């Protein structure tokens, strides 16, 4: 009898990314947190994945922005108003907690194991079931 092949980390990461996006849209509403538009909503990692893999799937770190605010204003033009607006809108306590979580992530052990992704997927699926 053949042993069942474990899913690859790439497959699990992609599945977790899709679930995190769906959860963020549910949690934050399908509305741009900067301009209020409801079309072409994307999910932005407030603290970039490159700065904190630990926060990649943390819903507190995921911000809903329309494609224009996300790609053009935030990333291409580096609009200096967007980040402070999000912090004001979500609150200083949210920002302080997010920075503390980032620091905690820097102290964490490797989190890119198959088991890690499986646990993330289970947690995100549970979140979706509740909402």
Give me the number of domains the chain comprises: 1
User: What is the mean predicted confidence (pLDDT) over 22-31?
Assistant: 95
Could you give phi then psi for residue 3, rounded to 5 degrees? -75, 135
Residue 129 belongs to a domain = no
Residue 2 belongs to a domain = no
Between 2-16, 25-39, 43-57, 60-74, the lowest mean confidence (pLDDT) is in: 2-16
Cα 90 to Cα 44: distance, rounded to the nearest angstrom = 14
Residue 99 parent element (H or E): helix 92-107
Residue 3 belongs to a domain = no
The range of the structural domain enclosing residue 67 comes to: 9-123
Structure tokens belonging to residue 33: 């947190």
Which of 48, 44, 47 has the alpha carbon at shortest distance from 71? 44
Residue 87 belongs to a domain = yes
Residue 130 belongs to a domain = no
Cα 84 to Cα 92: distance, rounded to the nearest angstrom = 10
Residue 26 belongs to a domain = yes
- Model confidence band, residue 109 (pLDDT cutoffs 50, 70, 90): low
Beta strands in 50-119 (DSSP E): 62-66
- Model confidence band, residue 98 (pLDDT cutoffs 50, 70, 90): very high
Residue 67 belongs to a domain = yes
What are 41-84's pLDDT values in tens digits?
A: 999 999 999 899 899 999 999 999 999 999 999 999 999 999 99
Residue 4 belongs to a domain = no
């Amino acid at each position: 009898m053949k042993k069942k092949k474990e899913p690859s980390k790439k497959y699990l990461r992609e599945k977790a990314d899709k679930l995190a996006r769906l959860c963020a849209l549910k949690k934050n509403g399908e509305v741009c947190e900067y301009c209020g538009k409801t079309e072409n909503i994307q999910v932005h990692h407030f603290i970039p994945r490159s700065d904190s893999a630990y926060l990649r799937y943390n819903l507190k770190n995921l911000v809903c922005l329309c494609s224009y605010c996300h790609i053009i204003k935030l990333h291409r033009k580096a609009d200096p108003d967007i980040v402070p607006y999000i912090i004001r809108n979500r609150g200083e306590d949210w920002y302080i907690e997010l920075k503390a979580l980032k620091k905690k992530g820097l102290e964490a052990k490797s989190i890119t194991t198959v088991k890690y992704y499986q646990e993330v997927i289970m947690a995100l699926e549970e979140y979706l079931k509740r909402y």
